[in-house]
Amino acid sequence: MMPPRAAILGLAGPVLAEEERRFFAESDPLGFILFKRNCETPAQLKRLVDDLRASVGRGDAPVLIDQEGGRVARLGAPHWRQPPAAATFATLAEQDLALGGEAARLNARLMAADLAAVGINVDCAPVLDLPVPGAHDVIGQRAHGRTPDMVATLGRAVCEGLLEGGVLPVIKHMPGHGRATVDTHHALPVVATGEAELRRTDFAPFHALNDMPWGMSAHVVYSAIDADRPATTSPQVIDRVIRGHIGFGGVLVTDDLSMQALSGTVGDRAAAALAAGCDVALHCNGKMDEMRSVMAVAPPLGEASLARLERGQQLLHDPHPLDPAQGLARLEALMSGRAAAEAWQALHAGHSPHSPLRYA
Could you say which DSSP state residue 183 is in? -
Is residue 185 part of the annotated active site? The answer reads: yes
Which residues lie below 8 Å from residue 96, measured CB to CB, with a gap of 6+? 339
Which residues lie below 8 Å from residue 143, measured CB to CB, with a gap of 6+? 86, 87, 90, 127, 129, 130, 131, 151, 178, 357, 359
User: How open is the CA angle 50-305-183, to the nearest 5 degrees?
Assistant: 75
Residue among 185, 186, 320, 348 flagged as catalytic: 185
Residue 318, helix vs strand vs coil = coil
CA distance 184 to 175: 15
Which residues lie below 8 Å from residue 200, measured CB to CB, with a gap of 6+? 148
CA distance 102 to 332: 12
* 11 in Cβ contact with 36 (< 8 Å): no
Q: Looking at the DSSP assignment, which residues form a beta bridge with residue 65?
A: 34, 123
Start-to-end C-alpha separation, the chain: 53
* 96 in Cβ contact with 89 (< 8 Å): no
Residue 18, helix vs strand vs coil = helix
Distances (CA, A) of 210 to 159, 207, 241, 254: 12, 5, 12, 17
Is residue 129 part of the annotated active site? The answer reads: no
CA distance 116 to 114: 6
Residue among 66, 114, 255, 279 flagged as catalytic: 255
CA distance 201 to 199: 6
Catalytic residues: 185, 255
